[in-house]
A and B are shown apart, each in its own frame.
Chain A
Amino acid sequence: EADIYQTPRYLVIGTGKKITLECSQTMGHDKMYWYQQDPGMELHLIHYSYGVNSTEKGDLSSESTVSRIRTEHFPLTLESARPSHTSQYLCASSDGGEKLFFGSGTQLSVL
């Protein structure tokens, strides 16, 4: 079934660790996005990509980085996790239209 998948669903990690949040979509969408969201709160765009080898920073400053080597894959990496990075990270994709399809999210807790 065509969908957008995020792993892991939950991640608890210690300060200073390097982590990568995975996001893959099987819908053939060119555009992909990463949002940061505290539970039930505003969605903040932190990164986006309009195609392979294209990445841009979003409206909210983030210490994370992203890559887009394949159309279907858009991983997000934190080189050194800190407690301030604790949040939910939502990946999304869209086709030529405007509708965003969101993944189920990764809830990150940094101790």
Chain B
Amino acid sequence: GENVEQHPSTLSVQEGDSAVIKCTYSDSASNYFPWYKQELGKRPQLIIDIRSNVGEKKDQRIAVTLNKTAKHFSLHITETQPEDSAVYFCAARGTAGNKLTFGGGTRVLVKP
């Protein structure tokens, strides 16, 4: 089945700086890659996603890039703010059972 690895596990940045989280996946046929944000004590929520026919997608201060050849995708947060502090999960949809497999999560702390 699909295997997703996420790095780093923790990331501390100064307010206003950029944050980058990277994920690799194993199933070359995977075609959908979402990112979820989970604030402390809250439910995970989708913040951005990308499909395999697109190389980059941007939504205000967040962007996701996909490299199908290398089988990795990344989340970029620019001009970070304290409210960006949360755990971020990447995921990939493989071909087995059409299910999402999540990465291990990245705890992001934005220091004011």
Contact = CB atoms under 8 A, between A and B. Distances in A.
Contacts of A44: 102
Interface in A33-83: 40-45, 48, 56, 58-59
Interface stretch (B15-23, B65-73, B103-111): B103-111
Nearest to B31: A98
Q: Contact residue range for chain A?
A: 10 to 19
A103 B1 CA distance: 26
Contact of B34 (A56, A99, A103): A99
B38 interface: yes
Interface in B44-63: 44-46, 49
Contact of A98 (B89, B93, B105, B107): B93
Chain B interface helix/strand/loop/mixed: strand
Interface residues of B, number: 24
B46 A100 contact: yes
A42 B107 contact: no
Leading 4 A-B pairs by shortest Cβ distance: A102-B43, A43-B102, A42-B104, A40-B87
B87 A103 contact: no
Nearest to B1: A59
B97 interface: yes
B89 A43 contact: yes
